[in-house]
Chain A
Amino acid sequence: NAGVTQTPKFQVLKTGQSMTLQCAQDMNHNSMYWYRQDPGMGLRLIYYSASEGTTDKGEVPNGYNVSRLNKREFSLRLESAAPSQTSVYFCASHNSGANVLTFGAGSRLTVL
């Protein structure tokens, strides 16, 4: 049972490049989330998806897009990366019955 799987684990981009962070969960969870973690800022919610086909903005959505194409997968896209998007990104899924988030191992992104 893999839980929440994120790819890639590390990525270096140049300003203006685009990329997609992939996330998949095998726990049949309805809700999925993308957070970013920065020093001194804790975890901040970028986007979340309450169910397949729906997405909503979180606290810091600017510069990001998301896609929830099916129940398992929730991707985060940076169309034109900026140095301010250098961060560690975490995907999580939510078991609404137990109200507990399960996190992926994180993706460390550096934008030069």
Chain B
Amino acid sequence: SQELEQSPQSLIVQEGKNLTINCTSSKTLYGLYWYKQKYGEGLIFLMMLQKGGEEKSHEKITAKLDEKKQQSSLHITASQPSHAGIYLCGSQTGANNLFFGTGTRLTVIP
């Protein structure tokens, strides 16, 4: 079965610093999703990547899918307290089965 491993598991950064979260798959990814979860709330969709080498940005968050489609990175520039939360990558196996990595807990210290 396919697995998604996220690193680091948790991250504490000073406000204004850049950071990167990685998501690595044991198999080729056919759609990679990034979600953010604020503590105690539901998941909010951030971005989806499908093509090898694809890169997307939303405000200060950029996500990339490598050429081999087995790893994705999420980069936050000039982090703010509003970026704090749990970031999850997800992927699809089959037509209707989506599964997720274990998540990265981000804390941003003002």
Residues of A within 8 A of B (CB): 4, 31, 33, 35, 40-45, 48, 50, 56, 58-59, 90, 92, 94, 98-106
28 contacts between A and B (CB under 8 A): A35-B100, A40-B102, A42-B88, A42-B103, A43-B88, A43-B90, A43-B99, A43-B100, A43-B103, A45-B99, A48-B96, A50-B95, A56-B96, A58-B97, A59-B99, A92-B43, A98-B48, A99-B33, A99-B48, A99-B92, A101-B33, A101-B43, A101-B90, A102-B45, A103-B44, A105-B42, A106-B40, A106-B42
A99→B77 CA distance, assembly (Å): 27
Shortest distance in angstroms between A3's beta carbon and chain B's nearest beta carbon? 9
Q: Which residues of B contact A90 (CB under 8 A)?
A: 42-43
Determine whether the beta carbon of B99 is less than 8 Å from that of A104.
Answer: no
Chain B interface residues (CB < 8 Å from chain A):
6, 9, 31, 33, 35, 40-45, 48, 88, 90, 92, 95-103
Q: Known contacts A100-B48, A104-B42, A105-B42; is A42 also within 8 Å of B98 by CB? A: no
Please give the distance in Å from B4's CB to the nearest CB on chain A. Answer: 8
Main secondary structure of the interface of A (DSSP, over half): strand
In the complex, the answer to whether B45 meets A101 with C-beta atoms within 8 Å is yes
- Given the complex, which residues of B lie within 8 Å of A4, measured CB to CB? 42
CA distance A79 to B36 in the complex (A): 32
- Neighbouring B residues of A44 by C-beta, 8 Å: 99
Task: For B89, give the chain A residue with the smallest CB separation.
Answer: A42
Chain B nearest CB: distance from A31 CB in Å?
Answer: 5
Contacts of B6 in A (CB 8 A): 42
Chain B residues near A50: list those with CB within 8 A. Answer: 95-96
Q: Say yes or no: B101 contacts A42, CB within 8 Å.
A: yes
With most chain B CB atoms within 10 A of its CB, the pick from A4, A58, A99 is A99
Nearest chain B CB to A82's CB is how many angstroms away? 23
Q: How far is the CB of A90 from chain B (nearest CB, A)?
A: 6
A99 to B95, CA, bound (A): 10
Given A103-B42, A105-B41, A94–B96 Cβ distance below 8 Å? yes
CA distance A59 to B100 in the complex (A): 11
